[in-house]
């Protein structure tokens, strides 16, 4: 598929003020290459919550998967999140796949590449905002390998196919029940690849990047409105389990007032519902143990200094829920303050420019 099959991106879009801000970080003692951007309204959704093992159990005999629904609460509003699977060919057979852990990591790597100079683009249109990234498979593979997630060409292109063919539908639970409001778009709205001849021609005038991907509109809106937040990309990439990555991202995006005198309080039931990672699991105690281990992992890498646990018991003294009180480290507090300062200065600069 040639890039021309996607609406052409003017070179000016790669040098837009919005992308310059998106790629500028307040390091707080860390190299900028370790930092990236996250969006609360997008990155805390249960978009990648079904494991490959569970997909195998859910598929029909002819390889199909149904759309899945999850519920999540964002800023006091409960939404239904529906993920429609991709249909791709594997070993000569068409099969359904939901975006999973691999696709989550690839999406974050693409977002990081987009923050590099003249690789990400942003374009404001009368119909809305548009943002994306140009890249090569070698560049993407090298970035993932550097972060400890090596993938071969087949795995990478399969992940890109799943991201560009799966769709995300979001609708508030309250409102008109007969004709409810909803919004639907693919994880990657568009994906294109130049032909080899086009690639060689392109290298004569600019960096040879054979692929182009357009991000989800919610990310485009966040870039337009500075609705993103600086996060520790390198640390997120070092976390090996999805529940660890979810808890770190939740702290980074929600615990914005972190200090050594404040705590972040959250219940196990909230983590279970909002992450969607334990759907279909039969043993609640195993899920609770995984969350406990994830907190310990975040403690080991210097994100939290202490966690206080309160068990909420019901009949027969059975554990019905767990309340966690998270106390941050000085390192995490410093990173949150740097992210706050960056966002504040960007917002002030944007207000003056307008």
Q: Is residue 103 one of the residues assigned to a domain?
A: yes
Q: Is residue 19 one of the residues assigned to a domain?
A: no
- The answer to whether residues 220 and 267 belong to one domain is no
Which residues, other chains included, contact 23 with Cβ-Cβ below 8 Å and sequence gap of 6+? 114, 115, 116, 117, 120
Last residue of one domain, picked from the residues 207, 228, 249: 228
- The answer to whether residues 135 and 67 belong to one domain is yes
- The answer to whether residues 223 and 249 belong to one domain is no
Q: Stretch 296-301: mean pLDDT, rounded? A: 97
Closest by CA to 325, choosing from 264, 270, 268, 269, is 264
Dihedral sign of CA atoms 151, 99, 207, 32 in order: negative
- The answer to whether residues 219 and 243 belong to one domain is no
CATH code at 309? Answer: 1.10.10.10
pLDDT tens per residue, range 212-241: 999 999 999 999 999 999 999 999 999 999
Residue 74's pLDDT is 82
Residue 209: pLDDT above 90? no
Residue 206: pLDDT above 60? no
Q: Is residue 28 one of the residues assigned to a domain?
A: no
Q: Is residue 120 one of the residues assigned to a domain?
A: yes
pTM of the model: 0.92
Structure tokens at 271: 């983590």
Last residue of one domain, picked from the residues 177, 204, 228: 228
Strands 183-186 and 167-172: antiparallel
CB atoms within 10 A of CB 321: 15
- The answer to whether residues 190 and 133 belong to one domain is yes
Q: Find out whether 217 and 127 touch, Cβ atoms under 8 Å.
A: no
- The answer to whether residues 218 and 281 belong to one domain is no
Mean per-residue pLDDT of the chain: 91
Residue 5's pLDDT is 57
- The answer to whether residues 224 and 302 belong to one domain is no
Residue span of the structural domain in which 198 resides: 1-8+36-228
- The answer to whether residues 243 and 203 belong to one domain is no
- The answer to whether residues 199 and 314 belong to one domain is no
Residue 138's pLDDT is 93
Residue 176: pLDDT above 80? no
Q: Is residue 14 one of the residues assigned to a domain?
A: no
- The answer to whether residues 216 and 350 belong to one domain is no
Number of domain units in the chain: 2
- The answer to whether residues 143 and 249 belong to one domain is no
- The answer to whether residues 205 and 245 belong to one domain is no
């Amino acid at each position: 598929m040639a890039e021309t099959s996607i609406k052409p991106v003017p070179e000016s879009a790669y040098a837009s003020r919005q992308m310059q801000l998106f790629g500028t970080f307040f390091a707080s003692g860390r190299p900028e290459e370790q930092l990236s951007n996250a969006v609360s309204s997008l990155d805390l959704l249960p978009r990648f919550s079904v494991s490959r093992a569970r997909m195998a159990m859910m598929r029909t005999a002819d390889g199909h998967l149904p759309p899945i629904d999850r519920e999540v609460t964002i800023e006091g509003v409960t939404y239904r999140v529906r993920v429609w699977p991709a249909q791709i060919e594997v070993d000569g057979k068409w099969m359904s796949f939901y975006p999973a852990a691999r696709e989550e990591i690839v999406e974050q790597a693409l977002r990081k590449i987009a923050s590099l100079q003249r690789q990400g683009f942003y374009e404001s249109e009368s119909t809305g905002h548009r943002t994306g990234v140009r890249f090569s498979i070698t560049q993407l593979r090298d970035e993932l390998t550097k972060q400890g997630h090596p993938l071969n060409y087949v795995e990478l292109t399969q992940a890109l196919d799943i991201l560009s063919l799966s769709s995300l539908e979001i609708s508030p639970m309250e409102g008109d029940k007969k004709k409810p409001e909803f919004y639907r778009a693919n994880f990657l709205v568009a994906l294109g690849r130049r032909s080899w001849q086009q690639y060689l021609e392109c290298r004569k005038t600019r960096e040879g990047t054979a692929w182009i991907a357009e991000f989800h509109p919610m990310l485009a809106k966040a870039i337009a409105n500075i609705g993103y937040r600086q996060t520790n990309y390198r640390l997120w990439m070092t976390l090996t389990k999805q529940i660890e990555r979810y808890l770190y991202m939740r702290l980074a995006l929600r615990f914005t007032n972190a200090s050594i005198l404040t705590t972040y309080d959250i219940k196990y039931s909230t983590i279970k519902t909002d992450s969607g990672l334990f759907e279909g699991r039969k043993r609640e105690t195993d899920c609770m143990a995984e969350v406990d281990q994830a907190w310990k992992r975040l403690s080991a890498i210097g994100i939290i200094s202490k966690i206080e646990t309160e068990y909420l018991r019901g009949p027969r003294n059975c554990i019905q829920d767990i309340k966690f009180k998270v106390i941050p480290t000085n390192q995490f507090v410093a990173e949150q303050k740097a992210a706050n300062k960056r966002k504040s200065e960007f917002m002030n600069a944007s207000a003056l420019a307008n």
